[in-house]
Structure 1
Amino acid sequence: MARIKPPFAYFGSKGRFYKEIKEIFEENYRENFVDLFAGSMEIPLNFKNEFGELKVLANVKDEKIECFLSGNAVDTYKKGLEYIKHDLKINARNLYENDRQAFEEVNKRFKNIFSECCPCCGKKLSTRKKHEVFNENEKRILRSLMGFGGNGTTLTNAFYSEEKIKKLELYIGALKTIKITTDLFDENWEFENSFIFLDPPYIRKTNIGEEGFIGYNYVDDKGVDWTIKDDERLVEFIKRNQNKNNVFLVFGSVDNNLSKLLKENFKCKFIIKEYKKQMFGKLAEKAEYFCLIK
């Protein structure tokens, strides 16, 4: 069965461990699957796709994802392509590699959605507060799907392909099959008969042997920070929801603050996964953990 994947770049690593997460879920099956920090929602969407009878709740608090929950993202994407006057017969990568001048012309038109730009060179003159064609939610969608790094106001060289449209349509269709909420975490939430997956926004450092707490601003670039006190709230949430036929799977970076709290408060099993990841041209060794609490 083909995996459903987000049609945009997204910071996060749990999708690479889908097979392992699925195996743990199957061994500890519950009728409800709850992902309280769902990110791009790759895990809950694919679980619903594979286990049709499963009741799935995904909670996500991130502008980049929330923009896809209102309006019609597919129509917005097509409207964006029409606005920048891109020939849909041409794959964006081919345009970038074979005709850089033509690519820069469509790039100028894309940048014009977000900024007042010089008509000659395309240099940004000022930020555009309001656009005559696209509202703020549509602009957020276009940045996710077409912008450099999945967030920029200049075009990525992979902004269009027929495969990308199909991927987007599949993703949007899958969103309609699960329940989605957009709430900040609350330790007073209560669940029963559920497999609860927890991947909180804790520490950005995941290099093997590296320690040190770094707050992670998890509502796009202007939300609230996740702190050590929030780790403690997460522990309280788990305690509140124990003895209700729930299973908890916590995902995190090795030796982070939360892992220490989990060891202090619960009888739990840790599974360490090491992998290599390339960032900014450098290959780094990473390590993540799964912590299973029954």
Structure 2
Amino acid sequence: MLTGECICALQSGERGTIKPKANFDADQDAAALKKAIEGLGTNEKIVIEILTTRSSAQRQLICKAYEKATSRTLVKDLKGDTSGDFEELLVALITPPAEYDCHEVMRAMKVTFLNEFCLEHHLSYLTSPETKKQLTAALESEVSGDYSKALLLLALGKRDESTTVDVNKAREDAKALYNAGEKKWGTDEAKFIEILCKKSIPHLRQTLIEYKNISGKTLQQSIEGEMSGDLENLLVAVVKCVKSVPGYFAELLHESMKGGGTDESTLNRIMVSRSEIDLLDIRAEFKKLYEHSLLSAIQVRNWIFNF
């Protein structure tokens, strides 16, 4: 579970693989896309070259220039000339980030609310007020109980944003978590939600250390042993991101590509949404965790399923 405002605190472009193109000309790119799309077949090479080497803000300017030149929207033309996972990826690239976040969250809830890879991934860093409003209303109508409380806290951005760490307070919270779980019969889920969904990330990093000293187990191990289902998955995701945001996304990418098929939606979503934020760090973590590059993993999957 990532929180853009509260967990990663990264600004667009700091560790991304896509940077704004120098000497950018939206009208020129729009004209090139028009030529690539019109006629018999689509020049996919040109479309890919343009849309994957411009920043999100530049892509929005291209969309406006394209509509001005053709009286059609670029998204409609791309949907008409492409299909499947390729279409989904292109549409994601030209959709404004806040709108894309909202669309993906709502889609996850309609398809299956238990799709943690989609719903929880997006809940964590929504910044648009209108997106939060829509999401909050949807959550309140769809879920209940502790899982709902945790999701709403994350969606509404209730996390403390301070950067200072008081070791004694972190130790107190570690003891509170231990007393709410490992030390008692039954589990006080509310205490876990209160601390993990509201305390600052630097504070939680220290709390994880103190918890291991007190319990002899990691907090993730305790959550996995004390809870189950959606709430367990959500709080484990929070803990993973407290430890390493790039590591969390590297794991999601690996999960999306392992086994008998590829979860293209998760793969596309993470690659697009993190491309201007921290994809360089995600790539490094992927290589460290799985001893091969993210690029090679994607290439292998494409080779297997196109063979």
Shorter-chain TM-score bucket reads 0.3 to 0.5
TM-score when scaled to structure 1? 0.33
TM-score when scaled to structure 2? 0.32
Structure with greater helix percent = 2
Structure with greater strand percent = 1
Relative contact order higher in (CA < 8 Å, ≥ 6 apart): 2
